[in-house]
C-alpha cells in the first residue's frame, strides 16, 4: 500500500487511571481486561486498529508502582517502562484533579522519553464543574512540553475521536506490522484466561488475592462446542475458599459471566470447567512465574 502509516502508541500511567478502558474504547472492542481494582493489567497487551491506510498499534501496560518488592510487581514495572522506549508516541494517562505520588513517580520516567508525549486527563465525566479542570491543566502544562494535553472520558468516549486525530499525524510512514483484520498479538488461550481473571477481579471484594492467576489447561472442540478446562491458581487454602464461596455460588456466578464473554469471543457455544488449585507463593518465585507464562522478552 502506498504511503501507509503504522506506529506503536504506548499507554502508560499509574494503576487504575483507565488505561485499559481507554484502549478498549479506542478499539471499540474489549481486548484488555479492566476492573476498579489496581493491578488488573499484568502484561503488555497490544491492540490493533486499522483503517484506510493507517494502522495504530496500541500498547496497554500494567500501571507503574513505586514499591516493587515481589517478582510479579518487578515484572509489571519492567513491562510498563519498556513501553516508553520502543514506541512512536506515548499517551500518559492521569485522572482529572488527582495527581498523586505515584503519578509523580511515573512523571520521572516520562521526562526521559524522546518521542512525543500526549497527556490525557481522564475521567472528566466525574468532574461536575469543568472550570475546575483549568488550574489542573495549567499545573500540568508547567511540568513538560507535552505534544498535547487532552481532557477525555475513556468510559463515555469523550474526545476519543479528537485524540485519534492528534495521534495519526505523529506516526511514521511505513508498511503495516500486522494483518488488517488482526485485533491483538495475544493468542486465544491468553485472552480466555484473561476473561476469567477479569471476572475474578470484578467479582471478589477487597479480599481478592492479587496473586491469583489463571491457566487454560485444555481446549477441545466437539460437535461445534468448545470445551475449555481452566485452573485458577492461588497461594493458600483460605483464598481458595473465598473464590469458591458458600456452596460454590461465587465461583459459579463468575464462571457463568466468563463463559458468556468467551462465547462471544469465539462465536460458538462454550463448555467451561474451572478448578481452583493451590500453588505455594508462586508470585514471589521467578521460576514459577516463567512456568505460568509470565516471561516476556518483546
One residue of 6, 8, 10, 20 binding ligand GDP per CB under 6 A: 20
Q: Is 16 in the site for Mg ion (CB under 5 A)?
A: no
Smallest distance, ligand GDP to C-beta of residue 38, A: 6
Q: Is 283 in the site for Mg ion (CB under 5 A)?
A: no
Smallest distance, Mg ion to C-beta of residue 32, A: 6
Q: Is 61 in the site for Mg ion (CB under 5 A)?
A: no
Q: Phi and psi at residue 147, in whole multiples of 5°?
A: -60, -40
Q: Is 40 in the site for ligand GDP (CB under 6 A)?
A: yes
By beta-carbon proximity to Mg ion, the closer residue of 40 and 230 is 40
Distances (CA, A) of 7 to 41, 177, 213, 243: 22, 8, 31, 41
Smallest distance, ligand GDP to C-beta of residue 45, A: 10
**Which residues in the 109-168 window bind ligand GDP by CB under 6 A?**
122-123, 125-126, 153-155
Q: Which stretch binds Mg ion (CB under 5 A): 20-28, 119-127, 138-146, 284-292?
A: 20-28
Q: Is 15 in the site for ligand GDP (CB under 6 A)?
A: yes
Distances (CA, A) of 157 to 62, 76, 151, 164: 22, 27, 11, 12
By beta-carbon proximity to ligand GDP, the closer residue of 70 and 227 is 70
Using CB under 6 A as the criterion, which residues of the chain lie in contact with ligand GDP when the complex forms?
A: 13, 15-21, 34-36, 40-41, 63, 122-123, 125-126, 153-155
Amino acid at each position: 500500500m502506498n504511503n501507509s502509516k503504522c506506529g506503536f502508541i504506548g499507554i502508560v500511567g499509574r494503576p487504575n487511571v483507565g488505561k485499559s478502558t481507554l484502549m478498549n474504547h479506542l478499539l471499540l472492542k474489549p481486548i484488555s481486561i479492566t476492573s476498579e481494582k489496581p493491578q488488573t493489567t499484568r502484561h503488555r497487551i497490544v491492540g490493533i486498529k486499522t483503517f484506510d491506510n493507517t494502522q495504530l498499534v496500541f500498547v496497554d501496560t500494567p500501571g507503574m508502582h513505586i514499591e516493587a518488592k515481589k517478582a510479579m510487581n518487578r515484572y509489571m514495572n519492567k513491562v510498563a517502562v519498556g513501553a516508553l522506549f520502543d514506541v512512536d508516541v506515548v499517551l500518559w494517562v492521569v485522572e482529572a484533579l488527582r495527581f498523586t505520588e505515584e503519578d509523580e513517580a511515573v512523571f520521572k520516567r516520562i521526562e526521559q522519553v524522546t518521542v512525543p508525549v500526549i497527556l490525557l486527563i481522564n475521567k472528566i465525566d466525574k468532574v461536575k464543574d469543568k472550570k475546575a479542570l483549568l488550574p489542573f491543566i495549567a499545573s500540568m502544562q508547567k511540568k513538560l512540553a507535552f505534544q498535547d494535553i487532552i481532557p477525555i472520558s475513556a468510559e463515555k468516549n469523550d474526545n476519543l475521536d479528537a485524540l485519534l486525530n492528534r495521534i495519526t499525524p505523529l506516526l511514521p510512514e511505513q508498511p503495516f506490522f500486522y494483518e488488517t483484520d488482526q485485533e491483538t498479538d495475544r493468542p486465544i488461550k491468553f485472552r480466555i484466561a484473561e476473561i476469567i481473571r477479569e471476572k475474578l477481579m470484578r467479582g471478589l471484594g477487597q479480599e481478592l488475592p492479587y496473586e491469583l492467576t489463571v491457566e487454560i489447561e485444555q481446549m477441545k472442540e466437539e460437535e461445534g462446542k468448545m470445551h475449555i478446562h481452566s485452573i485458577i491458581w492461588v497461594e493458600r487454602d483460605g483464598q481458595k475458599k473465598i473464590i469458591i464461596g458458600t456452596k460454590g455460588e461465587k465461583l459459579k456466578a463468575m464462571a457463568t459471566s466468563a463463559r458468556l464473554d468467551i462465547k462471544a469471543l469465539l462465536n460458538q457455544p462454550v463448555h467451561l470447567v474451572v478448578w481452583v488449585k493451590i500453588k505455594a507463593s508462586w508470585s514471589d518465585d521467578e521460576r514459577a512465574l516463567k512456568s505460568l507464562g509470565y516471561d516476556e522478552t518483546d
